[in-house]
Copies of this chain bind each other. A is one copy, B any other.
Amino acid sequence: MTRVLVVDDEPQIARALRINLAARGYDVLVAHTGRSALDLAADNRPDLVLLDLGLPDLDGVDVITGLRGWNPVPIIVLSAGTDSTRKVAALDAGADDYVTKPFGMDELLARLRAALRRSTHLPGGEPVVEAEAFTVDLTAKRVHRDGAEVHLTPTEWGILEILVRNPGHLIAQRRLLTEVWGPTYTAETHYLRVYLAQLRRKLERDPAHPRHLITEPGMGYRFQP
């Protein structure tokens, strides 16, 4: 059955979408925040994502890039705004379509069918990411280092998960802080230094010269597979 993840913080809209989609035979998951959307997507591997941009916790474009880093799932953006630059940003970040509210349900369903039709349903990336020295299982939330399991604290996992889901991509300090600690934490770069050091001590063969958890001074961090 085709599984659709609906991300919207307004309960009545989420409810209307859920009912309409379920009536058409789709299997529907609902998330009300960006963070839970990323978690649900990792755990349930939906076939399509319907994403409202006005989320309370994360910026919608960050949700798109967070999904796109590891998952080619089609994304249809719903938004109340008619702001053209926002449309362009969302589409260039990896969204497949952009529908402005209010929209007709018929049209939305047609766009959904179109998006599903061209998603060739390639097997998709495995939920386990490998580096030379360690492996990360994103669905089981487990990390192994040289065969043995490594225990990570929730904060350590939060950071590592974001980096690993965007392999090779630079993640800004600000994004790590807002996604792990919350939207109000934008300046506490010291936290990142401490936790990156801990992660490197647990995962890297030579923590003083990391090969996978790379610092880009002044900009952010990068996971190098």
Contact = CB atoms under 8 A, between A and B. Distances in A.
Contacts of A104: 84
B113 A91 contact: yes
Count of chain copies = 2
A128 interface: no
Nearest to A220: B141
Number of chain A interface residues as a range: 35 or more
Contact of A110 (B91, B106, B123): B91
B141 A92 contact: no
Given A94-B117, A118-B118, A140-B168, 15 more contacts: A84-B106, A88-B110, A91-B107, A91-B110, A91-B113, A91-B114, A92-B110, A92-B114, A96-B114, A97-B114, A122-B123, A123-B125, A139-B169, A141-B170, A141-B216
